[in-house]
């Protein structure tokens, strides 16, 4: 197996992972024996200090899901993302800009 330095035996690793899953499941089932879960409507609801929320209201907004990461890459989301304007002319302009960039790169590389 050409996987470079270190040891990676996929079968062994898979076996170990499956073993881990089995142990976890075993622990879970043992604990279930002592503490039988008693689901009730209140327990299944999302806790919001006693407020009753509809499932639609609890749903995380998909665009805000990773706001910390968005903050880290702020310049990207400020400049590159709005550049995907949806305007065909802009996209064609990108193609030409890309063309010129690649041309310069290739001329430099082949010289």
The one-character DSSP state at 62 is G
27 sits near another protein (criterion: CB under 8 A): no
Binding flags for another protein, 49-88, as an x/- string (CB under 8 A): -----xxx-xxxxxx-xx--xx--x--xx--xx--xxxxx
Closer residue to another protein (CB): 33 or 37: 37
Tell me the CA distances in angstroms from 71 to 66, 76, 83, 85, one per residue in order: 9, 10, 18, 21
State in Å, rounded, how far the first CA of the chain is from the last one.
39
* φ, ψ (nearest 5 deg) of residue 91: -65, -40
Q: By CB under 8 A, name the binding residues for another protein.
A: 1-5, 8, 10-11, 13-14, 17, 46, 54-56, 58-63, 65-66, 69-70, 73, 76-77, 80-81, 84-99, 101-103, 105-107, 109-110
């Amino acid at each position: 197996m050409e996987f470079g330095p270190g040891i990676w035996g996929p079968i062994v690793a898979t076996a170990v992972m499956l073993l881990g899953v089995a142990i976890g499941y075993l622990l879970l089932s043992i604990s279930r024996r002592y503490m039988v879960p008693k689901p009730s409507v209140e327990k299944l609801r999302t806790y919001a200090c006693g407020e009753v929320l509809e499932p639609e209201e609890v749903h995380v907004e998909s665009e805000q899901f990773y706001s910390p990461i968005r903050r880290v890459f702020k310049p990207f989301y400020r400049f590159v993302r709005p550049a995907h304007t949806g305007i065909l002319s802009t996209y064609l302009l990108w193609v030409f800009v890309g063309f010129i960039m690649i041309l310069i790169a290739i001329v430099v590389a082949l010289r």
